[in-house]
Amino acid sequence: MENYHYICRYCKKEFIPKRRKVQKFCSTSCRVRSHQLSQKFNKPAKLNAEKTKIDQVSAAGVVNAALGTTAADLVKNLLTPEQSKSATKADLRRLEELLQRYHKVENIKSLSDGRAPYFDMQMKRIVYR
């Protein structure tokens, strides 16, 4: 049995080796960490040898982009169900026109003088007109 203690090259703790003269670290994790550190500091800095190409704006590119965007919007518009589409300002204006201030109430009888009940959307109450 081996009685000689080695010193781990990573954590500097003493250990009894399982493989004499071969083992330099007390555990696999110390061996892996030591290797990771050596790789981190021994890596040469990467130089970007390739020159980056700067795209120039051309009329053809602008037209192609516009056509692609239009085609994608058209397909999205055709495939999206009507109830899932977002409301536009024109939709909101149409809705506002439909939702006028006074709405006739059908389930309340008219007064004896002939005035009918209406719900006032601004005042939030029943009025007779």
Three-state secondary structure string covering the chain: CCCCCEECCCCCCEECCCCCCCCCCCCHHHHHHHHHHHHHHHCCCCCCCCCCCCCCCCHHHHHHHHHHHHHHHHHHHHHCCHHHCCCCHHHHHHHHHHCCCEEECCCCCCCCCCCCEEEECCCCEEEEC
pLDDT tens for the chain, residues 1 to 129: 557 888 999 999 998 888 877 889 999 999 999 999 888 877 666 665 565 566 677 888 889 999 999 999 899 888 888 888 888 898 888 887 777 888 889 999 999 999 999 998 888 999 998
How many domains does the chain fold into?
A: 2
* Residue 37 forms part of a structural domain: yes
* Residue 48 forms part of a structural domain: no
pTM of the predicted protein model: 0.32
* Residue 112 forms part of a structural domain: yes
* Residue 83 forms part of a structural domain: no
* Residue 79 forms part of a structural domain: no
* Residue 86 forms part of a structural domain: no
Residue range(s) defining the domain that contains residue 118? 97-128
* Residue 61 forms part of a structural domain: no
* Residue 51 forms part of a structural domain: no
